[in-house]
Amino acid sequence: MNYSVSSRKELTIMKIEEEVFDFRHGDWFKVAIDEIVNKNQSKNLIIDFSQVKAIDSCGISSMLLAHQLSNQSGGLAIFVSLCKQIKDLLKLTNLDKQLYIFSSINEVITLIEPAMKSKRGSRGKSQAPAYEAIDELSDDLDLIAIPELNEAHLEEHLDEHMLDPDDITEQPELSEAPDGKEPGSKKRGRPKKADL
Distance from C-alpha of 153 to C-alpha of 168, rounded to nearest angstrom: 25
What pLDDT digit, counting tens, does each position of 129-153 carry?
A: 555 555 555 554 444 344 444 555 5
What pLDDT digit, counting tens, does each position of 63-100 carry?
A: 999 999 999 888 899 999 999 999 999 999 999 999 99
The structure's pTM equals 0.59
Distance from C-alpha of 20 to C-alpha of 185, rounded to nearest angstrom: 61
What burial class does residue 166 get, using C-beta atoms within 10 Å of its C-beta: 0-12 exposed, 13-18 middle, 19+ buried?
exposed
- Domains of the chain, by residue range, sit at 3-103
Distances 60 to 16, 26, 46, 71 between C-alpha atoms, Å: 14, 9, 16, 17
**3-103 adopts what CATH topology?**
Transcription Regulator spoIIAA (3.30.750)
